[in-house]
Amino acid sequence: MASDQEQSTEQPTLTKSELVAYISQEQPQLSEQDVELAVNSILECMSRALVDGERIEIRGFGSMSLHYRPPRIGRNPKTGEKVQVPEKYVPHFKPGANLRKRVDEGFKEK
């Protein structure tokens, strides 16, 4: 029989508040406010680096960079009308080898 996770079309999500609570439980010497400040600081620093066009690399986890998407002609799905989609830069995450291996092994165990 398939597990609840396999039957559900929606994947479980780890929110920022859940991450803060988890770290707080794992590191009881840190207050929840300190953990929240650290998590917010890390995310802000990473966001700033991407805004500045920098690449982020966290060994064993992965890297984040920006990918350029040139302007193109798209279609409004409701009307079929052609619309101009402007150029943009989108964040791209590439998982590291260690993370890919851990995720793959984790799913094989289930």
Q: What is the pLDDT of residues 30-65, one digit of tens each?
A: 999 999 999 999 999 999 999 999 999 999 999 999
Tell me which of 3 and 13 has the higher pLDDT.
Answer: 13
Alpha-carbon distance of 83 to 13, in angstroms, equals 33
Res. 4: pLDDT tops 90:
no
Average pLDDT over residues 76-90: 96
pTM comes to: 0.77
Positions of E strands within 1-110: 56-58, 62-69, 72-75, 82-85, 88-95
Q: Are the C-beta atoms of 73 and 84 separated by less than 8 Å?
A: yes
Question: What pLDDT does 83 receive?
Answer: 97
CA gyration radius, the chain: 19
Alpha-carbon distance of 98 to 62, in angstroms, equals 9
Res. 1: pLDDT tops 50:
no
Residue 86 has what DSSP assignment? P
Average pLDDT over residues 82-107: 95
